[in-house]
Structure 1
Amino acid sequence: MYNKTFRGGVHPDDGKSFARDIPFQTWLPKGDMVFHLNQHIGKPAKPVVQKGDQVLAGQLIAEADGFVSANIVSSCSGKVKAIEKRKNVLGTSDMSIVIENDGQYTLAEGIGTEVDYTTLTGPEILDKVKAAGIVGLGGAGFPTHVKLAPKNPNDIRFVIANGAECEPYICCDDQLMRNYADEIVGGLKIMLTLFPNAEGVILIEENKPEAIAAMEKACSGESNIRVHRVVPKYPQGGERAIMDVVAGKHIKLGMLPADVGCVVDNVATVRAIYRAVCKSEPLMERGFTVSGDAVKNPCNLIVKIGTGLEEMLEAAGGFKDGVEPEKLLCGGPMMGFAMSDLDAVVNKNNNALTILAKDPVAQAEEQQTACIRCGRCAHVCPLGLTPQMMAAAAEKKDYDRYENKLYGLECIACGSCTFVCPAKRPLMQLFKQTKSEIMAAKRKK
């Protein structure tokens, strides 16, 4: 067994006490459903329905348009109301399929059919995963059928189910492991059939004892699947930290986990693989946490993809009485996206709505000073970068130094440097903007 922790990292208040012990409830949406065509890394999906078409839950409504792309299925039954641009959680707009939900959730033919995965070949398993439209449900949204087809499958040594869930406030993966451990292990067993030389690893932080117990019980009879407990520390859920802890490997910019013999998927993704292969169920719903000190009844939900965020707040009872929240986040406070309103929907890779009474970013801006050269940012960076020097290069627009001397593009935007900075400098925001400008210049060339 390799290290139980990784270099650097921070220990923010995890905020999980709000929702960690709240069991899942299923929320059936009431309003129109909106399906963005690019809710995954890669090329947007291509619509296969038209305005006025009747659709069923589980029916394909947009197909993958290229190798790195993903199918999209409807999570409700109803009529296609429009194919038009709709607002996303980033505040921009995407082409989307809007379905008028009839509230019946009538399933398409074949959904729920039981299949014995041991009777399937590797290509047949991959076809089922692709048809289901599964992507990384931990936030990245990378098409799973692509991740499960590396160049050299015999070189894969670890297939890792990521249950770290280190982002503050979010608890849906914890609940998923507590309640669906058998299905997560089932998904891991399916994945292992694709990699004959691999061991299955379920990575969980030690602050989730109920999840650890459930997962250890579920894999107790498996010879090549084990639970790997790790020290709670942010950002343990990042792929690079996982490689370090589980495999003792370091991946550099441009490398994938497969390059060091690993395949990593979020536990929700692993469960979705099981549901797709063994239950003929495409990706229609996901776990979702609504939490924060401004939420009346923090909760964990099983929510249909395409549901409006306003309904997610409704499911949690709305805002606390007398509270006017200052911060709306899609995701958590470390890596989530700030929103001006809730006029957006749950995509495949969205796992939480966090609502805070006070805006910590605004408070930090009021206290911001010049860099005091304390070096704390470098101490906590999980990649060993020098944020202080990166910030100086970024502010001067010295992109060559930023990229080639300081390796700034290696930054994973975890926000650890910003969190510990006593000068309250918005380092992560600066680095994200700088990376965006560098990549835009590369594309222009």
Structure 2
Amino acid sequence: MSYALLAIGAAALLLTLNARYPVRHTAVLAPSFFLAWGAIELAPHLLVAEVAAIAGTALAGGLDGWPGWTGLALGIAGTAGTVASIIASRRTVVTLRDSGAPLDLDPEGAPRYPFWHLVVPPACLIPRRGVRVRRNVVFHEEGRLRLKADVFQPAREGGGLRPGLLEIHGGGWVIGSRREQGLPLLNHMVLQGWVGFNVDYRLSPKATWPEHLLDLKRFIRWYREHAAEYGADPGCLYVTGGSAGGHLTAMVALTANLPEFQPGFEDVDTSVKGAVPFYGVYDFVGTEACAVPKPMIRLLERMVLKKSAEKDPDAFAKASPMHYLRADAPPFFVIHGSHDSLVPVEGARAFAERLRDASESPVVYAEMKGGQHAFDVFPSYRTARVIEGVERYLTGLHREYGRKAGDAPPAVPDEVADSLG
């Protein structure tokens, strides 16, 4: 048992070191990311497992020899690192407040993210009480192509038209689905009187850029025509998404009404009122300070753009949000994790800084200390606080929009308010 304790202790310490110093070498990038992802965002669950494994093995005779005592020392160091990850996560509220966003995270009557989702992560996949989901709504049909969305609404209709939120899933432009991402945020937003639209778009290698973006523009065209049928305001749409969805979120927001990205419906208004990209890629031809990792460039060359970055840099520039910075850009709330090993945080910092210089709208940047890529997929404490922060930001942004338009912001429906009690 002493060698078993040594192995457990060494594993705990390695998990901590990998979480704190993620390896970005191509050969081990994927396993390093997945191990760090779980170790950081499920740190409380990992801590319970580590303590139980170390204590159980020690009580079963693991301390009978020097390997066991060595394993115990390594295990204590590893669990200390896990505790540090939990502390960093608990400071998320401070990070959000320091970002400069007009966030009131504890307004009277605003719902908090449910604690039981943090304890039992799969619970976030279930629609919350007061939320109705209409699945498989077709928003574009062309030949054999049928693009679908899931619509998240308050359980009962009425109360006037509400703002809409478009959720764009990630997955490196090649995998992913509306069924598995953005669910905690959409559920939470509906409880504050919003209507959410979780959409699919064509994926590579079958799709070639910019078909991914064109599909999202087609959704906006559909939204303008059909939003009212689902209780949403056709003239009021916000957009969010993570990773590849963060890249597409920025592209949707910054390429509004550009004819090349809406062939056949050039006269449709494809603008949005605000954008919240999570851990996105913003510049495919970045400098050394914020260079795109080589594995991602290879993915883009072989499966997404299907062009050479060296031979056709203009194509990669035109697929980059950084290429479309504009004075009339909508407000942005850019969110990234400081320990992101797939998409380095330097790119998000540079994008937010340059967008501030170009845009007349506010640009807010929040860097999650200790956060990994795709941190919000797990309903962790960090995810809960970020979701609450995004909701307060978007609600405040929409209230400002309502004041400018001369309309009052939508109220939380009575049945939703009752369900929160």
Q: Tell me which structure has the larger Cα radius of gyration.
A: 2
Would the TM-score normalized by the shorter structure come out above 0.5? no
TM-score between the two structures when normalised by the length of structure 2: 0.28
TM-score between the two structures when normalised by the length of structure 1: 0.27
